[in-house]
Structure 1
Amino acid sequence: MADLCSVPPEILVPAANETLDLVLGSQVELNCTVRWAGTEHCQPIPAWSKDGQWLGNGSSQDTVWSGQNSSEQFLASVLQLNLTHDADFGVFACWISNATATFTLQQAEAAGHVPAVLAALLVLVILVLLAVLYIQCRLNALLWYRDRYGELEINDGKLYDAYISHATAPDDRKFVHFIMKPQLENRHGYKLFLDEQNILPNSEPSADLIMNVSRCRRLIVVLSVAYLEQDWCNSSFREGLWRLLELSRKPIFIVFESQYREITHPAITLLKQHQNTVTLLVWRASSMTPSSDFWKELCLALPRKVSFLGSVGDPQTQLQEDKDPMLILHSSYLSSGGDLDPDGDLGTGPCPCCFSRGDRCAL
């Protein structure tokens, strides 16, 4: 019996000395299981130490059982720890007879907020890039979609794409004739009807205005300081705006940056309040560039252009169902080329009765 009890126990768990990285506030169970050959009389007594200091009796829970072979005995000693302080970490040793198992508990670094902050910054950067991409490419995408899938305004009896109303001031004329007209006609292929007359004398549209606007698909008003000095802009702009809305769908008003920000004219205020029914564009210093947002927004407000061969003609002005001479570019009704004497009949034309001979009729 003494020989059996002198055999040292075999440590089953842990298989080797363990090192555990645990965070502050966690709970852990240290399991030390041994096997020995002998009877219960040879049962060893487990003991635990921390950093070389013995822990008191009762610090662990011990369980003993016999194996299938009655000559084998097992003992499991479990030490439960609550790691609430830095001092709770250290080197724990399980002593069973002359066998020892060691557990090294190290305090792991808390995950912290660094990954979360980095993830938030990454999301923020992505959102900023998407916002910048949207601002830079939004108008180009809208123009591409409009030019590819937009409504075609053809066979509508219109001769011009836009009717431009502006004041007679020199600056207004220069802006329309030397900036707007070359850009829209030469670069984008639009056909413009320019008018510097008062479009609403006595706050009512004139007959000429009604006829001219009916020939155009859009109405553009260059609302400069000189334009705002007209009577209808000062006294009854609201009523005049309703008249223009009756003549043209969603008219386009162009204002200049200085007056848009500084001038508190009732007309500017009213247009800001009704931007859902009108198109309000602001001319800025950067708008001179052909690729600026001003021209893109203006082209979006204008009808979609149709590509055509020069020999075929513009499908937006040709092949009209309406044969009214007022709505045809080259009307034979208005042309005098068919009559050799437009002021009167000189008898130089062939007589119907002489067509077969080609002779002239005698008077």
Structure 2
Amino acid sequence: MMRALTYLLGTGFFLASCTRATGQQEALLYTYHTVVGQFFQLECDINLSFVDTERNLNITWSRNNNQSLDVTTSRVRMWNVSLLFFPVEFSDSGFYTCKQSRGSFKRKEIKMFLSVESGSCPGPSDTKTMQQGSTRTLTCRQEHVFTLDHSAEVSWLKDCTPMEQQGKFVRISNATSSNTGSYTCQINFTFEGKTFTTSRSTLLIVQNAKPVLVEPKVIYPREETIQVELGAKAELNCTAFIGMRESTEIESSVYWTVNYSFVEFYTPPLNQSLQYVKKNSKFYGVSRLFIAEVHQEFFHVPFHCVVTTPMGRDLGLVWLSQAANQRDYHALVAICVAVLVVVAAVVIYRMLKVDAVLAYRRLCCSALTERDADGKLYDGYVSFLHEGVLSSSRAEEFCLQVLPEVLEVRHGYRLFINGRDSLPEEGAPDIITDTISRSRRLILVLSGQNQADQDRENLLLWDRNQNRPDLGQLTTLCEAMIQSGVQVILLETDKHIDYSLLPQPLRYAKQKHGALRWRLNCGDPTAPPNSRFWKCLLYRMPP
């Protein structure tokens, strides 16, 4: 009941002067009252001098959820930054949005609500207060009309009753309570040969004494975003200062709106409660909005807490955003933690696997079976593969000096090195096959291409006693590897090895196990950058 009374007294529609900032856009909301059949102007709240100096300012109008608005008719026109109605009709009631933009600067939105009413005088669009015994002047602020017709006639009405005062101003001296009422400025003017009338009302309240604080204020929330789950319950609380007098409670109202609509309009209606609290001689209104189930339509729309008194009005703003379901959130966290643990374990395993295996061999070597128990004679059969005999000096040094120094001298492995341990008559295929079958590993040392060698399609076994490639030995080597099932270890002495020239079994071994690359290093061959190389080689060798 109090809310309806406040509306009738002219405190305006439920949102009469709201300001909020979101990102790069600013929105204002005003409410205007007019009478059907009269001329009316909706004005974009902007300084006209700004329009004159900034030629690139762009003004656009829309209505009710950005519906297009035709402003080219004879009845509805755009003039400067204003929207003119010649005259206004009942169907013109609704929300209007004025958008201002200038170049690349931010856009400004101004929202207005136009209430078209019947009768002779519109409801008040403004509220002003004054103290008993004081003096105040009311101004007929309709400059746009005087621009259209300099001979316009102005008259005043109080509570829709004609007054004796004429002209743009009404002066009220030594005010008393009898001066309280709705003052209407009415203008008759001619435009394009037709006569129009326009009116605007202001509610004037004469107070007995000046209160300490005359304007209401929403204390909490000013602007807040709350996360809630879809389908969950929610409660919004609003605390507003309403005044200093005992009569404040019956003169004020604190309530909620959802997306610029009263909560009673929803089905089922949202529940709200209101109670008044006095603290330190100040009166506060506390309004609570209860939402039994949060629907999708409640997200990202404005929830306004509105406080209205005869002294004015103020608003608080709340936005609801959807929060993740707690169970889904915990499950997601658990999955992420599990994935991180698995990834960390894999990374640690790959980094420490070689060192762990080598450490285990050193600690548990006494528990291992004797290596001669498998009937093998050699721990490794070493052969050198290259594409040109002139390019083998580095690989030859590696095979004959570096590799035996580390594997044989330091770690006690038995190696059969082709070119060092073989005799000329031992190059026969059956002898090579027999030797590989008695070895636990097949170590193939690969070198890069020799640019002077024109025969790039042949890959051959290095033999110190031969000057020409022997493709047959390579074929024998691959067949022996397959028949004996021996594990192959590929070692590279150069950066670029063309594996497309290798037989299929060796390409498969490269794809499955990879290759180790040795770098030429002066001094200790096991020192960096080859320390990791030797660890990986020892890891692939038998215990």
**TM-score of the aligned structures, taking structure 1 as reference length:** 0.46
More helix by share: 1
| Bigger strand fraction | 2
Structure with the greater relative contact order (CA < 8 A, sep ≥ 6): 1 or 2?
1
